[in-house]
Amino acid sequence: MTTQDNSVAGSALGRHVDYPQGYDPGLLYPIARTLGRHAIGLREEALPFIGHDRWHAYELSWLDAKGKPVVATATFEVPADAPNLVESKSLKLYLNSFNASRFDDADAVRASIAGDLSRVAGAPVRVAFGLPPMATGDDDAVSIDALDVAIDHYGPPRADFIRIDADDVVEETLASALLKSNCPVTGQPDWAHVRIAYRGPRLDRAGLLRYLVSFRDHAEFHEQCVERVFADVLAQARPERLSVEARYTRRGGLDINPWRATPGSVTPVARREDRQ
């Protein structure tokens, strides 16, 4: 597939769009990842991470061969090295286009979604019915949200807030439910629970919390925010291993969970937060 240098301006975001009347893969809109990556000094030929964007779809329905409605949930996994990300409103409209369309069976629906998303992303997209289980809180992540920290900066993101103790090398997972950014087109808030797992010089937890809160008035897509967090922590702390996953809250029947990690990292177990 030829990579399209699509910009946000051509998408359905922020515009009135008629409800789709039938299955229409043309509703899907790709946005070139290079548009966000170049802004933080990342180049496609030398990405410092592996990862994926895991979507959860809560509102999926179609008609069976006899016209009876079928409902389902689904999980889509777009690889981080795909040339394009899938714009979220276009994905919502596309999934709604199945509502009045007949399919022989669920496998035909799954195959259609996988094929359509793969063409738009520019790389194979995994599609499965069902959702991951909810997080149980029994992992080893340490929340930094209760820290007594004075904060007065809410944007743009300040990488210099990230500080380390170079004499203390640790392996730990830190978590925060206070990550918020805004859609770059509509200005609507995007809320997320973020997990940062690393091995390297100990991160100053107060500084990390200030850094995450400095996204609060920042406008950037979910995937780009996670890549910015990964790039900033990698540059400021120089960890041996790093994994950043953000589990965003739902909008329009969809939530997205970008994950980026140093090559060789183990894929985190898929979980959903209680706000999802």
Confidence of residue 20 (pLDDT cuts 50, 70, 90): confident
DSSP 270: P
Closest listed residue to residue 88, CA positions, set 197, 206, 248, 263? 248
Mean pLDDT of all residues in 34-59? 96
Specify whether the CB–CB gap between 55 and 114 falls below 8 A: no
Percent of the chain with pLDDT over 90: 90
92 is in an annotated binding site: no
- Judged against a pLDDT cut of 70, whether residue 275 lies above it is answered with yes
Could you give the CA distance from residue 175 to residue 140 in angstroms, rounded to a whole number? 10
87 is in an annotated binding site: yes
For the chain, domains (ranges, CATH) are 25-129 (3.30.1130.10), 141-261 (3.30.1130.10)
222 is in an annotated binding site: yes
Most distant CA pair in the chain, distance: 68
| Residues marked as catalytic | 183, 190
State phi, psi for 18 to the nearest 5 degrees: -65, 145
Specify whether the CB–CB gap between 92 and 253 falls below 8 A: yes
Size of the chain in residues? 276
Give residue-wise pLDDT tens across range 227-255.
999 999 999 999 999 999 999 999 999 99
Give residue-wise pLDDT tens across range 98-144.
999 999 999 999 999 999 999 999 999 999 999 999 998 767 899 99
89 is in an annotated binding site: yes
Q: Considering the entire predicted model, what is its pTM?
A: 0.92
